Amino acid sequence: MTGPTEAVEADRALKAKHRTMWALGDYPAVATTVIPELGPRLVSACGVQRGDRVLDVAAGSGNAAVPAALTGADVVASDLTPALLDAGRVLAEERGAVLAWREADAEALPFEDGEFDVVMSCVGVMFAPHHQAAADEMVRVCRDGGTVGVLNWTPQGFIGRMFAVMKPYAPPPPPGAQPPPLWGDEEHLAALLGDRVTDLDARRETVHVDRFAEPAEFVNFFKAAYGPTIAVYRNIAGDPDRVTALDRDLTALARDAMTARGAMEWEYLLLTAHRRVD
């Protein structure tokens, strides 16, 4: 039986692993050159405006936090990975955005109950391993009547399918960890939020991706820039046959998703709700 001390140590080790994974490669390049529209889309859906107190959970390099700050909102970008926050500070300065950056675990946010008018996350909180804990924290720090908004890759969409392709090549997940694309399932999210929210609005949309001219270009870019993909390749680095097989599988996935001109449509779930007023 695992005792409290062992559980704490296991969680600390898991978070350290996640912190390291997201520091691999160049996630800011993914956010700014592949999916730059997603952050502003979430900000718009959440109705962020001047003077709002906004928290971006698992903000990465600020793909949603920076656009929110540019509206005149008072924004805090929080993330587990300091390297991403450092990159975000540079990007924010380049765009003239002023906001705060805070290292924080999405499952144990260092903020007061009801501190924010808007609590949001753009393809970020979905990677927290314990979904209910992360959802509980997002609701907790949102004020009564405030907005909770998330934008997540769906299991059926391109990125969800990519994670399914990579799963056989990845190490087994630790006990209790849940698959990230579940955050893109309406029923799963509704269950996580429960009756603590009202006016829940969930819609599936797609982002148009034309960054890659051919499937091999997509594979090579994600192998170099995207932390989860890099981590999977490192797991099988000692087995050239499995590396070749994963190259083949990811190339086939991209080929299936691409139009003749190389464009792809990546599906995501956009959900907004209001914290119930007690």
Question: Average pLDDT in the 2-12 region?
Answer: 73
59 pLDDT above the threshold of 60: yes
Sign of the Cα torsion 257, 42, 190, 100 reads positive
Average pLDDT across the chain, whole number = 96
Predicted local confidence at residue 4, as pLDDT = 66
Full-model pTM: 0.95
For the stretch 100-155, pLDDT in tens is 999 999 999 999 999 999 999 999 999 999 999 999 999 999 999 999 999 999 99
Alpha helices in the chain (DSSP H): 4-23, 27-33, 38-45, 65-70, 82-95, 131-140, 158-166, 186-193, 215-225, 227-235, 240-257
* pLDDT band with cut points at 50, 70 and 90 for residue 5: confident
* CA distances for 17 relative to 46, 104, 121, 122, 231, angstroms: 31, 15, 21, 21, 10
The answer regarding whether domain 10-208+264-275 maps to CATH 1.10.3720.10 reads no
Could you tell me the maximum CA-CA distance found in the chain, to the nearest angstrom? 58
Average pLDDT over residues 235-257: 98
Predicted pLDDT at 261 = 81
Q: Are 272 and 45 in contact (CB under 8 A)?
A: yes
How many CB atoms are located within 10 Å of the residue 30 CB? 22
Taking CA atoms, 66 is separated from 28, 95, 201, 230, 264, in Å, by 13, 8, 24, 26, 26
Q: What is the pLDDT of residues 169-179, one digit of tens each?
A: 999 988 889 99
Domain ranges of the chain: 10-208+264-275
So what's the pLDDT on residue 158?
Answer: 98
Q: What is the mean pLDDT of residues 57-85?
A: 98
Tell me the pLDDT band of 7, cut-offs 50, 70 and 90: low
Instruction: Quickly state the pLDDT bin for 2 (edges 50, 70, 90).
Output: low
Structure confidence at residue 151 (pLDDT): 98
